[in-house]
Amino acid sequence: MVKALHACKADVKNALSLVLAPVEMPLNVDGDFIKFVKNRLVERTFTEGDTTPVAMLGQTIRFTVVKARPCGIVKMTPDTNLQILAKPLDVMRATIMEYRKERERYRFRCLKGMEREYAADYILFVIPEQNNRERCEGKIISIVRALAHQEEKIINIRVELWDERGIIDPQGFPWAKVSPMGKIEYTYPIEWAKVVNANFFTRWKTTEELLILLDEDPTFNI
């Protein structure tokens, strides 16, 4: 029994960052509020998905642990970077879905714009290490996710522009990279946005809470 307890303690890591969201109601969040909540939670342990109560001003406010880094059981410390969302997670879900759909449409417009720019007939997604090509982005991403997980390293995806005579640029263009954990980071040139005159950047630039939830920066990583 003693050995088991020691093993559990060893699995608790200091939290580098935590993201909390209120469960029931929107909040007015500022630096003083975050500092107050953090002081109440120091030394507590969390995992993603936990609900934790914080007593303040004669009432108890419940928070959901939206994100915890590193993964697993973590402990709040004075050095933990704590972020608190102003809105409950349920309220944010609709915004997240809209963002992801719009981001997908944006990427599609970028690809079609580059086809026109280079007078290409079609585009192929390629895994350079395997010389594997697919017309469907979803299919290539599924393959790369499995490969990145299996090989425990980041795998890059490039795009190639083709016409009836063959490949237009043998080097292709960077498109995305996938981590062993399955996270996708799009790496194509930001100049592609100018081709489609997309308003995506302006629309989403100020959605700070959305960025926290997605762990992304829409000014480039779209």
Q: Taking 60 as the threshold, does the pLDDT of residue 49 lie above it?
A: yes
Residue 74 falls inside a structural domain: yes
Q: Domain containing 21 — which CATH number?
A: 3.10.330.10
* Residue 108: strand, helix, or coil: helix
Of the candidates 23, 22, 14, the one whose C-alpha atom is nearest the C-alpha of residue 68 is 14
User: How does residue 7 score in pLDDT terms, banded at 50, 70 and 90?
Assistant: very low
Q: Are residues 142 and 109 in the same domain?
A: yes
Burial class (CB in 10 A: 0-12, 13-18, 19+), 162: middle
Q: Are residues 160 and 116 in the same domain?
A: yes
Exposed e or buried b for every residue in 165-188, given b needs 16+ CB within 10 A? Answer: eeeeeeebbebbbbeeeeebebbb
The string of pLDDT tens digits covering residues 106-144 is 888 888 888 888 899 999 999 998 888 999 998 999 999
Please tell me which residue, 217 or 145, carries the higher pLDDT value: 145
Cβ–Cβ < 8 Å for 15, 47: no
Q: What contacts 98, CB < 8 A, 6 or more positions away?
A: none
Say how many domains are in the chain.
2
Quote the mean pLDDT of the chain: 81
Residue 131 falls inside a structural domain: yes
Residue 222 falls inside a structural domain: no
Q: Taking 60 as the threshold, does the pLDDT of residue 5 lie above it?
A: no
Query: Which of 87, 117, 136 is where one domain is finished?
Result: 87
Q: Are residues 30 and 51 in the same domain?
A: yes
Q: Are residues 77 and 98 in the same domain?
A: no
Query: Which of 54, 87, 120 is where one domain is finished?
Result: 87
Q: Are residues 96 and 195 in the same domain?
A: yes
Task: Please give the Cα distance from 120 to 163 (Å, whole number).
Answer: 5
Residue 73 falls inside a structural domain: yes
pTM (2 d.p.): 0.55
Q: What contacts 8, CB < 8 A, 6 or more positions away?
A: none
Q: Are residues 113 and 75 in the same domain?
A: no
Task: Please give the Cα distance from 164 to 210 (Å, whole number).
Answer: 42
Q: Are residues 60 and 77 in the same domain?
A: yes
The string of pLDDT tens digits covering residues 161-218 is 999 999 998 888 999 999 888 888 888 877 776 655 555 544 544 455 555 555 544 3
Q: Which domain holds residue 52?
A: 2-87
Cβ–Cβ < 8 Å for 153, 140: no
Residues forming a β-bridge with 58: none
Q: Are residues 98 and 151 in the same domain?
A: yes
Task: Please give the Cα distance from 46 to 214 (Å, whole number).
Answer: 20
User: Could you give the residue ranges of the DSSP H alpha helices within the chain?
Assistant: 2-10, 31-41, 89-117, 137-151, 192-196, 200-204, 208-214
* Residue 45: strand, helix, or coil: strand
Q: Are residues 191 and 154 in the same domain?
A: yes
Q: Are residues 23 and 94 in the same domain?
A: no
Q: Are residues 161 and 77 in the same domain?
A: no
Q: Are residues 94 and 24 in the same domain?
A: no
Q: What is the mean pLDDT of residues 152-156?
A: 93
What is the DSSP-derived secondary structure letter of residue 23? S
Residues forming a β-bridge with 74: 13, 46
pLDDT confidence of residue 210: 55
pLDDT confidence of residue 174: 92
Of the candidates 216, 177, 220, the one whose C-alpha atom is nearest the C-alpha of residue 198 is 220
Query: Which of 46, 71, 87 is where one domain is finished?
Result: 87
Residue 105 falls inside a structural domain: yes
